[in-house]
Amino acid sequence: MLRFVMIALGVLGAAPVLAVPGHAAHKPAVQTAPIPLADTVRVALETTLGTIVVDIDGKHAPITAANFLHYVDTKRFDGITFYRAMHLAWGEQPNGLIQAGQRDPRHLFASIAHEPTSQTGLSHLSGTLSMARNAPGTATGSFSILLHDITGLDADPKSADPDLQAGYAVFGHVVSGMEVVRKIWDMPPSPTAGEGVMRGQMLADPVKILTARRVPIPAN
C-alpha cells in the first residue's frame, strides 16, 4: 500500500516527494547529541498572505526540531519563500502540501541525521510539518506543510525499498493559520518551472516568509 501511495504521488524511486529542487545532495553530517531544547517550541511564520503559527516537537524529534530552530534563531528563514504546492487529486480535498525553504547554498547548515516516524512515533497528518530531503540524511533547510493526512510519507520499516523504509521526518504541526496554508496552496503554478515531478508544482509567484520567530506559548 505504501509503495502504491508513493507512486501515486509521482515517486518511482527517482525523485522524493519532498525533494529539494535545484540542490545537489548534501553529504550527511556526523550528528552529535542535540542541543537541549523544550519539548514544544512555538514559532510564528509571518508571510505576505498571513501568519502561520507552528509548534515544533523537540520531545519526539529533537534533531529535526533543533535544526529548524537553528534556521529560525539565525534569521535564515527571513525572506525565503513557499515556492511549491503539490495538489493530489485523490482522497478528501484539499489534499497535498506546500513547501518552503532556504535555497541559497551559502545560507545552509550541514545536513542532519534522519529521524524516521517509526522512531519518533509521529505521523504525516493534516497540518504536519515534514522535512524535505533528497536521500535520507540530506535534509537541511526545506520543509513542507500538509493540507491533509498523507500517512504514505511515514516510514515503512517492512519495505525492501530504503527510501520507503526511511520515509520523511515529522517535526511539528500547525496550531493556527491553516487558512493561510490553503491560500498558498491555491496560488497558481508556473506552467514551465520545475523539473520531472516538480513540473506544474512550482508557484508562479512564490509566497515570501517575512519573518520566522519564536513566540511564547500561552499559559493555558
Number of domains in the chain: 1
Q: Is residue 22 a part of any domain in this protein? A: no
Q: What is the pLDDT of residue 90?
A: 84
Q: What angle do CA 73, 166, 93 make, to 5 degrees?
A: 80
Q: What is the pLDDT of residue 36?
A: 65
**Residues 6+ away with beta carbon under 8 Å from 218:** none
Q: Is residue 201 a part of any domain in this protein? A: yes
Q: Is residue 193 a part of any domain in this protein? A: yes
Q: What is the mean pLDDT of the chain?
A: 87
Rounded Cα–Cα distance for residues 82 and 70 (Å): 19
1, pLDDT greater than 70: no
pLDDT-based confidence at residue 176 (cuts at 50, 70, 90): very high
Q: Is residue 220 a part of any domain in this protein? A: no
When pLDDT is averaged across residues 184-203 and rounded to a whole number, the result is 90
What's the pLDDT tens digit per position in 15-25?
356 666 655 44
pLDDT-based confidence at residue 33 (cuts at 50, 70, 90): very low
What's the pTM value of the predicted model, to 2 decimals? 0.86
The per-residue b/e assignment along 62-88, b for 16 or more CB within 10 angstroms, e otherwise, is bbbbbbbbebbeeebbbebbbbbbbeb
Q: Is residue 97 a part of any domain in this protein? A: yes
User: Which of 17-31, 102-116, 128-142, 198-212 has the lowest average pLDDT?
Assistant: 17-31
When pLDDT is averaged across residues 135-146 and rounded to a whole number, the result is 97
Share of the chain above pLDDT 70, in %: 84
Asked if omega into 94 is within 30° of 0 (cis), the reply is yes
User: Which of 5-14, 41-50, 97-106, 189-198 has the lowest average pLDDT?
Assistant: 5-14
Q: What is the pLDDT of residue 53?
A: 98
Q: Is residue 20 a part of any domain in this protein? A: no
Q: Give the structural domain span for 77.
A: 2-11+38-215
Q: Is residue 26 a part of any domain in this protein? A: no
**Residues 6+ away with beta carbon under 8 Å from 169:** 61, 64, 114, 115, 116, 117, 120, 130, 131, 133, 139
Q: Where is pLDDT greater, at 5 or 20?
A: 20
Share of the chain above pLDDT 90, in %: 75
Q: What is the CATH number of the domain that holds 147?
A: 2.40.100.10
Q: Is residue 19 a part of any domain in this protein? A: no
Q: What is the pLDDT of residue 91?
A: 81
Q: What is the pLDDT of residue 20?
A: 66
Phi, psi of 117 (to 5 degrees): -65, -25
